[in-house]
């Protein structure tokens, strides 16, 4: 009759395995460790670590104040407004938003002083021949029309006081 083969596994010591991995880590991950040390030093120099330490030590107080602010009517409106702004930003086509950003930078963000004197009537009317101006005016008109419709709907849904 066949005899069973005795299988004797040495007892596993997870602590020893962890120490072995820890001893090999500097050689296997030297570049990553150097990057981590550099990031840690930059964080310390910028005061980020001190800020985090202060935040962690005052964590309960910060949470209590945030909860108190959220319970107020202003806090509830602020949170609702943030959610609505997030939805609004998510609904805007990024290409359109980029066009708006470029237009703002080229008109309001430039080093030049904005024109203080209003333009004369004829030069102003001649600008209406430009299709770019008419295109942007059509976009603004569509926005204002939609906004007016929404204000009318909101106003009709409100109960008289």
Backbone angles phi, psi at 5, to 5 degrees: -85, 125
129: Cα separation from own chain's centroid: 40
Q: pLDDT higher for 155 or 77? A: 77
pLDDT of residue 160: 57
DSSP string covering 10-64 = PPP-HHHHHHHHHHHHHHHTHHHHHHHHHHHHHHHHHTHHHHHHHHHHTHHHHHH
Residue from 100, 117, 120, 96 nearest 109 by CA = 100
pLDDT of residue 112: 65
Backbone angles phi, psi at 82, to 5 degrees: -65, -40
d(CA 127, CA 141) in angstroms, rounded, equals 17
Let me know: does 26 contact 33? Beta carbons within 8 Å: yes
pLDDT at 9 over 90: no
Give the length of the chain. 161
pLDDT of residue 102: 87
Backbone angles phi, psi at 150, to 5 degrees: -65, -40
pTM comes to 0.46
pLDDT at 130 over 80: yes
Residue showing tokens 């008419």: 134
Using pLDDT thresholds of 50, 70 and 90, give the confidence band for residue 75.
Answer: confident
For the stretch 19-51, pLDDT in tens is 999 899 889 999 999 999 999 999 999 999 999
Output DSSP code: residue 129.
T
Mean predicted lDDT score pLDDT of the chain? 87
Using pLDDT thresholds of 50, 70 and 90, give the confidence band for residue 5.
Answer: confident
Q: What is the mean pLDDT of residues 66-94?
A: 90
Q: What is the mean pLDDT of residues 96-102?
A: 87
pLDDT of residue 63: 83
pLDDT at 119 over 90: no
Q: What is the mean pLDDT of residues 51-80?
A: 86
């Amino acid at each position: 009759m066949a005899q069973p083969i005795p299988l004797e596994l040495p007892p596993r010591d997870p602590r020893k395995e962890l120490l072995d991995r820890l001893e090999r880590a500097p050689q296997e991950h030297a570049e990553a460790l150097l990057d981590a040390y550099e990031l840690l030093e930059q964080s310390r120099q910028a005061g980020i670590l001190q800020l985090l330490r202060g935040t962690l030590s005052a964590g309960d107080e910060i949470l209590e104040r945030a909860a108190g602010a959220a319970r107020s009517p202003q806090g509830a409106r602020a949170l609702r407004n943030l959610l609505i702004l997030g939805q609004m930003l998510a609904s805007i086509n990024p290409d359109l938003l980029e066009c708006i950003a470029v237009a703002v930078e080229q008109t309001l963000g430039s080093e030049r002083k904005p024109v203080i004197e209003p333009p004369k009537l004829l030069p102003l009317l001649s600008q209406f021949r430009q299709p770019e101006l008419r295109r942007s005016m059509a976009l603004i008109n569509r926005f204002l029309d939609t906004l007016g419709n929404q204000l009318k709907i909101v106003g009709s849904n409100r109960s008289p006081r």
